[in-house]
């Protein structure tokens, strides 16, 4: 059915639509204005009246307002201390930025140095030599050398290694240390250590090739003679380890020939030998050197079970056997100041310095114990990964006990393994002006 009535919302003149548009337009303007006011209020700080309050400094508990930072973790403290020490020593080093070590100016050696050798008599009043082993690979070694150079008669640095080829030695002279000795104490003798250490292990085969025949021995002697002459060193200290039994005779021949060549030039030949090894003929090697250095440590070593590095009874008993066949005026006792960190998670224990040992004990909250049977300190701790660690080490007390026991033999001197690894309090008993 059709209807003629218009729809209810029919607006033929459009007035309703115009009112709706005006309403929406007004709402849009209002919303935009309010949004602008809100944004401005956020960006611009309101101006508030100043309150008449006392300053924070005048409050009775003002000190409580200071920001209290949590102390860094022990590992972070250790890293910061190591970085700070390294920065201090690098700032002291006479190295020009951008200049290679080989380009450093090194103070010349004295033209005719007087050799501080062992006293000619066995008088108890005679002072013994003080010797320090130096390494390039630890910046703490340079720091110790710089602090304690005045205490040393000799420095024996790890500067020479054997290699194959026409020139059988690698020269790794630290110009910074060499310049320091030349400038600060030119009377200190330098006898570089000659080793068969290669790729982080003692290379027995390399040693056997270097001394295996007359031609090889003479080539090595010629290279060492040239090295000493070019740098005006006092001589060399031979430290060839892990010697195959079949090479002992060849090594002995090398030492005889080297000693003869150096003696003709007024140079010193010293040899570092193990303290307690039945394969070594100590009396025979003593006859081919000016000084025999007895390395009185490593009773327990990196790949052995954990134990004392140099127990006092072991030291005294072994020294008694050695000195029964050696001339004390040509014998030097090497004392250690280091440790090993054995772990059930590793087959080989890393060598640790006295400083690293103390930090490990502090970080792990372990108590350092003194073993009355061996008179060596040790402690145990557990790492975060669950591994169990045992550290045995040597310090100033063990060095003092050993030096006191050895002094009755009146040896030519004492040598420290090594500069940079030692207990700092060692220098109250070790040194050319302090030793018996």
Give the model confidence (pLDDT) of 182-207 as tens digits: 999 999 999 999 999 999 999 999 99
Q: Is 84 inside a domain boundary?
A: no
Q: Is 117 inside a domain boundary?
A: no
Q: Which pLDDT band holds residue 94 (cuts at 50, 70, 90)?
A: very low
281-306 confidence digits (pLDDT tens): 999 999 999 999 999 999 999 999 99
Q: Is 164 inside a domain boundary?
A: yes
CATH code for the domain in which residue 265 is found: 3.20.20.80
* Cβ 353 vs Cβ 140: under 8 Å: yes
Per-residue pLDDT, averaged over 395-410, amounts to 98
Q: Which pLDDT band holds residue 23 (cuts at 50, 70, 90)?
A: confident
List of residues 6+ apart from 285 with CB closer than 8 A: 252, 255, 271, 273, 292
Q: Is 43 inside a domain boundary?
A: no
Q: Which pLDDT band holds residue 30 (cuts at 50, 70, 90)?
A: confident
Per-residue pLDDT, averaged over 336-362, amounts to 98
* Cβ 292 vs Cβ 285: under 8 Å: yes
Number of domains in the chain: 1
Per-residue pLDDT, averaged over 394-414, amounts to 98
Q: Is the dihedral of CA 273, 193, 224, 329 positive or negative?
A: negative
DSSP letters for 188-202: SEE--EEE-EETTEE
47-87 confidence digits (pLDDT tens): 444 444 444 444 444 444 343 444 555 545 554 555 555 45
Per-residue pLDDT, averaged over 238-264, amounts to 98
Whether 235 shows a pLDDT value over 90: the answer reads: yes
Whether 428 shows a pLDDT value over 50: the answer reads: yes
- Beta pairing, strands 169-171 & 376-382: unpaired
369 exposed, middle or buried (CB, 10 Å; 0-12, 13-18, 19+)? exposed
3-state secondary structure of 156: strand
List of residues 6+ apart from 207 with CB closer than 8 A: 162, 196, 240, 242, 243, 244, 247, 251
Q: What is the pTM of this model?
A: 0.76
List of residues 6+ apart from 290 with CB closer than 8 A: 117, 235, 259, 268, 269, 270, 330
Q: How far is CA 203 from the centre of its chain?
A: 23
DSSP letters for 6-62: PPTT--TT-HHHHHHHHHHHHHHHHHHHHHHHHHHHHHSPP--PPP----GGGSTTG
Range of weakest confidence among 116-125, 150-159, 222-231 = 116-125
Highest mean pLDDT: which range of 30-34, 95-99, 111-115: 30-34
Q: Is 264 inside a domain boundary?
A: yes
Q: Which pLDDT band holds residue 432 (cuts at 50, 70, 90)?
A: confident
Q: Is 96 inside a domain boundary?
A: no
Which of 259, 203, 239, 252 is closest to 415 using CA atoms? 239
Work out the percent of the chain whose per-residue pLDDT is above 70: 74
pLDDT (0 to 100) of residue 27: 72
HSE of 399 in the Cβ direction (CA atoms, 13 Å)? 27
303 exposed, middle or buried (CB, 10 Å; 0-12, 13-18, 19+)? exposed
Work out the percent of the chain whose per-residue pLDDT is above 90: 70
Q: Is 56 inside a domain boundary?
A: no
Higher pLDDT: 115 or 58? It is 115
| Cross-strand bridge partners of residue 140 | none
Give CA–CA dist 408/422, Å, rounded: 24
pLDDT (0 to 100) of residue 43: 56
User: Which residue range forms the structural domain that includes residue 274?
Assistant: 127-337+395-428
Q: Is 176 inside a domain boundary?
A: yes
């Amino acid at each position: 059915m059709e209807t003629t009535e218009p729809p209810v919302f029919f607006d033929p003149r459009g007035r309703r639509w115009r009112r709706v548009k005006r309403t929406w337009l007004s709402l849009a303007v209002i919303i935009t204005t309010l949004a602008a006011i809100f944004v401005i209020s956020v960006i611009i700080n309101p101006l508030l009246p100043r309150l008449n309050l006392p300053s924070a400094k005048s409050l009775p508990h003002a000190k409580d307002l200071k920001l209290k930072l949590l102390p860094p973790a022990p590992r972070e403290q250790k890293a910061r201390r190591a970085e700070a020490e390294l920065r201090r020593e690098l700032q002291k080093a006479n190295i020009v930025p951008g200049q290679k070590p080989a380009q450093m100016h090194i103070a010349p050696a004295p033209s005719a140095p007087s050799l501080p050798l062992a006293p000619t008599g066995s008088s108890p009043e005679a002072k013994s030599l003080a010797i320090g082993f130096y390494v390039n690979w630890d910046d703490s070694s340079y720091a110790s050398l710089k602090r304690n150079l005045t205490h040393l008669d000799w420095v024996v640095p790890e500067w020479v290694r054997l290699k194959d080829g026409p020139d059988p030695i690698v020269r790794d002279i630290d110009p910074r240390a060499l310049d320091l000795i030349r400038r600060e104490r030119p009377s200190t003798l330098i006898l570089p250590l000659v080793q068969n250490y290669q790729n982080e292990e003692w290379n027995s085969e390399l040693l056997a090739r270097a001394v295996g025949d007359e031609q090889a021995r003479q080539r090595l002697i010629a290279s060492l003679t040239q090295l000493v002459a070019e740098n005006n060193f006092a001589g060399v200290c031979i430290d060839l380890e892990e010697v195959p039994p079949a090479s002992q005779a060849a090594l002995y021949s090398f030492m005889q020939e080297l000693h003869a060549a150096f003696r003709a030039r007024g140079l010193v030949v010293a040899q570092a030998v193990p303290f307690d090894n039945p394969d070594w003929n100590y009396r025979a090697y003593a006859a081919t050197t000016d000084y025999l250095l007895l390395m009185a440590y490593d009773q327990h070593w990196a790949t052995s079970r954990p134990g004392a590095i140099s127990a006092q009874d072991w030291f005294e008993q072994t020294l008694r056997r050695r000195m029964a066949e050696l001339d004390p005026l040509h014998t030097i006792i090497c004392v250690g100041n280091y440790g090993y960190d054995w772990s059930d998670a590793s087959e080989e224990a890393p060598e640790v310095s006295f400083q690293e040992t103390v930090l490990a004990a502090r970080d792990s909250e372990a108590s350092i114990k003194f073993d009355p049977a061996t008179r060596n300190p040790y402690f145990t701790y557990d790492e975060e990964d669950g591994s169990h660690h045992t550290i045995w080490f040597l310090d100033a007390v063990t060095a003092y006990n050993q030096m006191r026991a050895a002094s009755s033999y009146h040896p030519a001197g004492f040598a420290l393994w090594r500069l940079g690894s030692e207990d700092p309090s060692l220098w109250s008993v070790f040194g050319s002006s302090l030793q018996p």
